[in-house]
Amino acid sequence: MIASLLLLALVMLCVYVGSHRISGSQMSLVVCGAVVGLAFVIFPQLASYTAHVLGVGRGTDLLVYVSIIAGLFVSAHLYFRSKHQEWQIIELTRALALQTSPGGRQGDALRPTGTDE
């Protein structure tokens, strides 16, 4: 029962990721992760064997460690992506303010106040 639910969750994740635009390298990582996940669900002893080869006690521990590392990478990616979007919003806001200001010049927004030339 649990294995069926895990397989269904992995398939739903693959469909969800496949329906969004992502780069080829990201797609290959998702497909690779899905294949490994399916293999670990179908053959649980494979997770135990892999954990033993890597020096981890149990297959469950290996999956927890990999999940934590993946979560940290996802968190870092989302943080840097939000910072990039924040910078883009700032640049667009500046450009819009310069375009809509009456009599504004391109350099006016960058000049400190109180300096008349």
Residue 70 belongs to some domain of the structure: yes
Range of the domain at 15: 2-100
Of the candidates 60, 1, 64, 73, which has an alpha carbon nearest to the alpha carbon of residue 30? 73
Q: What is the total count of domains within the chain?
A: 1
Residue 39 belongs to some domain of the structure: yes
Residue 112 belongs to some domain of the structure: no
Asked whether residue 82 carries a pLDDT value surpassing 90, the answer given is yes
Highest-confidence segment of 69-73, 75-79, 83-87: 83-87
Distance of CA 34 to the CA centre of its chain: 16
Query: Which tens digits make up the pLDDT trace of 14-47?
Result: 777 677 777 777 778 878 888 888 888 888 899 8
Asked whether residue 114 carries a pLDDT value surpassing 70, the answer given is no
Of the candidates 62, 82, 84, 86, which has an alpha carbon nearest to the alpha carbon of residue 74? 82
Confidence of residue 107 (pLDDT cuts 50, 70, 90): low
Residue 20 belongs to some domain of the structure: yes
Residue 106 belongs to some domain of the structure: no
Residue 114 belongs to some domain of the structure: no
User: What are the structure tokens assigned to 7, written together?
Assistant: 């397989």
Which pLDDT score, from 0 to 100, does residue 90 have?
95
Residue 63 belongs to some domain of the structure: yes
